[in-house]
Chains A and B, each alone.
Chain A
Amino acid sequence: MAALTVRRRSLSGREARFGLAFIAPWLAGFLVFALGPMLASLYLSFCKYDLHRLEWVGAENYRRLLTADPLFWRALQNTVVYVAISVPLGLAGSLAIAVLLNQNVRGQRLFRTLFYLPSLVPAVASSLLWLWVLNSENGLLNYGLSLAGLPHRLCPRWLEDPVWTLPAFVLMSLWGVGGARMVIFLAGLQGIPESYYEAAHIDGATSWQKFWFVTIPMLSSTIFFNLILGVIGSFQVFTSAYVMTSGGPGNASLFYVLYLFRNAFEYFKLGKASAMAWILFAVLLGFTMIQFRQAHRWVHYEGGDE
Chain B
Amino acid sequence: MSRLSPLRAGVVYLLLAAGAAVFSLPFLWTVSTALKTPENVFRSPPQIVPLPVAWDNFAKAWTALPFPTYVANTLFITVVATTAQVLTGSLVAYGFARFRFRARTPLFYLLLSTMMLPSQVTMIPVFLIWRQARLIDTFWPLIVPAFFGGGAFNIFLLRQFFLTLPREMDEAALMDGAGYLRIWWSILMPLARPALIAVTLFAFLAHWDDFMGPLIYLNSPEKYTVSVGLRMFQDSFGTNLEQMMAASLIHIAPTILLFFLAQRYFVRGIALSGIGGR
Contact = CB atoms under 8 A, between A and B. Distances in A.
Contacts of A190: 194, 266-267, 269-271
Interface of A: 12, 15-16, 18-30, 32-34, 36-38, 40-41, 44, 97, 100-101, 103-105, 108-109, 111-122, 124-126, 128-129, 132-133, 138, 140, 175, 179-180, 183-184, 186-188, 190-195, 218, 221-222, 224-225, 228-229, 232, 236, 257, 260-261, 264-265, 270, 273-274, 277-278, 280-281, 284-285, 288-289, 292, 301-306
Given A26-B88, A188-B195, A191-B161, 12 more contacts: A16-B101, A19-B104, A26-B155, A30-B110, A36-B129, A40-B122, A104-B3, A121-B27, A122-B209, A191-B194, A191-B269, A260-B118
B245 interface: yes
A281 B118 CA distance: 8
B109 A288 contact: yes
B24 interface: yes
B129 A277 contact: no
A288 B16 contact: no
A19 B113 contact: no
A111 B248 CA distance: 22
A126 B197 contact: no
A264 B117 CA distance: 14
Contact of A264 (B102, B121, B244): B121
A121 B30 contact: yes
B55 interface: no
A117 B149 contact: no
B251 interface: yes
A280 B113 CA distance: 11
B4 A132 contact: no
Contact of B167 (A128, A138, A303): A303
Contacts of A284: 116
Interface string B232-250: 0010000101001100100
B53 interface: no
Given A121-B248, A132-B46, A195-B278, A187 B162 contact: no
A301 B244 CA distance: 46
Interface in B204-241: 205, 209, 227, 230-231, 234, 239, 241
Given A19-B95, A129-B26, A129-B30, A120 B120 contact: no
